[in-house]
Structure 1
Amino acid sequence: MKNNLLVKNISNTEIANAPEQLLTDVAFTQIEEMIITRRLPPGSMISEVQLSVELGMGRTPIREALQRLRQIGFVEMLPRRGTLVSGIDIRQQLELLEVRRPLEELVVRCAALRATSEERAHLRVLAQRMTDAAAQENMDEWIRIGREIHEAEVGATHNSMLIASMRSIHAQSRRFWYFHIGQNLLYVEGAQLHGQVLNAIAQGDVDGAVSAAYELMQFIERFTRSALDTF
């Protein structure tokens, strides 16, 4: 699968001339997707040289991107060995949900109150796009849109601390979902619940957004526990 979350409109020439910070952002997004989609599977060693060739950029932004991925638990730095792709711990997902629940309520509450008109319109579009991806059972697109939804929701809070706090939580959630959603085919239900949250935020309905977020988190916990039961 071609990685195109952030770089689909960036040519090789633009990459070559891009500021280093942008290159780090591009590398981070690309490598994150490789790990989520298991092009870089758990337990595999990452080659900075190979990534540099594949992504068409120097090793400095690759190295900085890997440091960011280490901070969110996607990779481990092993002395004298290199960078290892971390495994997925299902029980850790349940711990993650304990932290995520109250923060998700805060996210949707703040977003419903603070989102701009443009942000509200964008949330409605994302809700429809996820519904369409679910109808097509397009897992890659579903996960891609899920990332956009997470970024749009937390961005609409206009709270930099909340945005930073949710980044790692949402990344770990996407990785878990990619591995397990294909086995359970719960695209449609997940899309419906996300859509209810997004549309409530778009309408400025704080209570509705909080209620919809609660139902979404209930669904996510059921999904996580069902995955745990299979192991």
Structure 2
Amino acid sequence: MHHPSRPSVAKRRAADVAYDAIEALICTLRLTPGSPVNEAELAELTEMGRTPVREALLRMVSIGLIVQQPRRGLLVSNIDLADHLDVIQTRRVLEHVIAACAARRASAQERKAILACAERMEKAAVRGRLDAYMEADRELDEVTHYAARNHSAVKAVTPLIVQCRRFWYAYQHEGEIKEGARFHMELARGIATGDETAALAGADALLDYLEQFARRVIDN
């Protein structure tokens, strides 16, 4: 889906395209936690050059998605159950800021795109299409972040979203994606209607769902 208000893929920097492709591999556990990261293999897998892949990996090291260890090189970071509730607590604060900004600042076109992404999540959930659900979730984040026009909040929340997405994918047999889609739609409607109170309530409902999901996993 192309968002006219955002740069097209053709115009995006190669390193950004490489980053998205590698992030998807990590979030869907095709690159498993603790596994070594091979730059040449990733360049082949993502069909990107070595330079953009290297730049993407450096970004991932800076946000903790990939770790650099002496003598072992680059590794995909492990999922830390003990730390995950803190990740969600921090993300909640930032999602409040982004939801409020997006509700205030989104263009009419962006509001339509936000609703369309949430609708795609609902359709994918009904069909049990996990990959389509996650792709629509990524699109929803992207257009919402663009609409919020708050670079500092988006920059801070992005690594937390990636950690949540990977955690959710790893343990999604404990959750119900129809329920997840419903809470994303609640947030999307609040933003799309320009109702800051509803947008904040939607953000809270979504983070409550993620927190309850995490607690189920941790308690098992």
**TM-score w.r.t. length of structure 1:** 0.86
Rounded to whole Å, the distance in 2 between the matches of 1:62 and 1:82 is 15
Query: Is residue 155 of structure 1 aligned with residue 146 of structure 2?
Result: yes
Give the root-mean-square deviation of aligned CA atoms: 1.8
2:117 to 119, 126, 136: 126
Q: Distance in 1 between matches of 2:140 and 2:78?
A: 25
Asked if residue 90 in structure 1 is aligned to residue 77 in structure 2, the reply is no
| Aligned residues of 2:106 and 2:148 also touching (Cα < 8 A) | yes
Residue 176 of structure 2: aligned partner: 186
* Residue of structure 2 in register with 1:3 after alignment: none
Range 68-77 or range 190-199, more displaced = 68-77
Helix, strand or coil at the partner of 1:46: coil
Unpaired runs of 5+ residues, structure 1, are 1-8
Radius of gyration: which is bigger? 1
For residues 44 and 100 of structure 1, the distance between their equivalents in structure 2, rounded to whole angstroms, comes to 26
Which residue identity does 1:53 align to in structure 2? E
Asked if 2 retains the 8 angstrom alpha-carbon contact of 1:193 and 1:215, the reply is yes
Alignment match of 1:100 (pick from 85, 88, 91): 91
* Corresponding residue for residue 70 of structure 2: 79
Identity of aligned residues (%): 37
The one-letter code matched in structure 2 to 1:24 is: A
Higher mean displacement: 221-230 or 210-219 = 210-219
Determine whether 1:141 maps to 2:104.
no
Residues 166-177 of structure 1: pairs in structure 2 closer than 5 A:
166-177=157-168
Q: 1:212 Cα deviation (Å)?
A: 1.8
Residues 118 and 137 of structure 2 are in contact (CA less than 8 Å); yes or no, is this contact kept in structure 1? no
Q: How many residues are aligned here? A: 213
Q: Whole-Å Cα distance in 1 between the matches of residues 95 and 44 of structure 2? A: 38
Closer, same or farther in 2 for the Cα pair 1:81/1:157, shift >3 Å?
same
* Separation in structure 1 between the aligned mates of residue 47 and residue 196 of structure 2, nearest angstrom: 45
How far apart are residue 66 of structure 1 and its match? 0.7
CA contact under 8 A between 1:180 and 1:227: conserved in structure 2? Answer: yes
* Cα deviation 1:9-43 (Å, max 9, x = unaligned): 97xxx8xxx8xx72211211111111111111111
- Matched residue, 1:58: 49
Tell me how far apart the structure 1 counterparts of residues 43 and 187 of structure 2 sit (CA, whole Å).
Answer: 39
Q: What is the alpha-carbon distance in structure 2 between the residues aligned to residue 198 and residue 210 of structure 1?
A: 10
Flag structure 2 segments of 5+ consecutive residues without an equivalent.
1-7
SS in 2 for 1:83: strand
Residue type at the aligned position of 2:42 = L
Question: Residues 127 and 198 of structure 1 are in contact (CA less than 8 Å); yes or no, is this contact kept in structure 2?
Answer: yes
The Cα offsets for residues 116-141 of structure 1, whole Å up to 9 and x where unpaired, read as 00100101101110000110111111
TM-score (norm 2): 0.90
Alignment partner of 1:142: what SS?
helix
d(CA) in 2 for partners of 1:92 and 1:177? 14
